[in-house]
Chain A
Amino acid sequence: QVQLQQSGPGLVEPSRTLSLTCAISGDSVSSNRATWSWVRQSPLRGLEWLGRTYYTSKWNNDYAESVKSRIIIIPDTSKNQFSLQLNFVSPEDTAIYYCVRVIDGAFDYWGQGTLVTVSS
């Protein structure tokens, strides 16, 4: 059974960096059939895919255009986890953030969600 366990702060100051980590059990971040994504949800923007990392003989990343200039998703094979860094946050980045496993384009396993509030 795949489980995704998120960790990270729930409060970030404006213009700082939002950092979250997703620990994977029951699968591998280096899996050749899964990709690993971050999704956020807010009343203003609904469900929004932010980006993904995946391995196919080398590491690859894809990011949503809306955050492409501010986001990094980093895999960590030694800890079997992946992380999100979102730079220069503003109150509009306040949302529930989820890490997700994706297979065949479908988001089949989700983390528990982390409410991140951007405020001073």
Chain B
Amino acid sequence: DIQMTQSPSILSASVGDRVTITCRASQSITNWLAWYQQKPGKAPKLLIYKASNLQTGVPSRFSGSGSGTEFTLTIYSLQPDDFATYYCQQSHTSRTFGQGTRVEIK
């Protein structure tokens, strides 16, 4: 199985900050990488697909980049609604998720 490792596990930030979350794959997944946001008691919400494509309706302050084994999710100017847990997920071989990054209020 392809392992997905996110860092950091917890990120403390303030409204207006730029935050970056990293996801590393145990082998190359080309660009088969998606990012999700999850809030307590809710299903995950798709933000980015194929590494850098913004899902319809997702604010443009969310951006994804990377290919191969290293990927990043950047949130430009963090908003109050963005405090949540973020997951990466690969679909190159089977499907696996990262362990999550919780973005909390500093």
Specify the main secondary structure of chain B where it touches its partner: loop
Stretch in A23-31, A43-51, A72-80, A83-91 touching the partner: A43-51
Q: Point out the residue from A46, A48, A98, A106 that lies within 8 Å of B50, measured CB to CB.
A: A106
Measured in the bound complex, the distance between the Cα atoms of B43 and A65 in whole Å is 24
Q: Which residues of B have CB within 8 Å of A47?
A: 44, 87, 89, 97, 100
Interface members, chain A 67-120 (any B CB < 8 Å): 98, 102, 104-108, 110-113
B95 is an interface residue with CB less than 8 A from chain A: yes
Q: Which residues of B have CB within 8 Å of A46?
A: 97, 99-100
B33 nearest in chain A by CB position:
A105
| In the complex with contacts A65-B1, A105-B34, A110-B97 CB distance below 8 A | no
Q: Which residues of A have CB within 8 Å of B97?
A: 46-49
Specify the main secondary structure of chain A where it touches its partner: strand
Measured in the bound complex, the distance between the Cα atoms of B54 and A73 in whole Å is 30
A21 is an interface residue with CB less than 8 A from chain B: no
Q: Point out the residue from A49, A62, A112 that lies within 8 Å of B96, measured CB to CB.
A: A49
Nearest Cβ distance between residue A73 and chain B, in whole angstroms? 14
| In the complex with contacts A46-B97, A48-B97, A108-B55 CB distance below 8 A | yes
What are 9 A-B residue pairs whose CB atoms fall within 8 Å in the complex?
Answer: A47-B89, A49-B94, A65-B1, A105-B34, A106-B55, A110-B43, A110-B44, A110-B45, A112-B43
Q: Which residues of A contact B (CB under 8 A)?
A: 37, 46-49, 62, 64-65, 98, 102, 104-108, 110-113
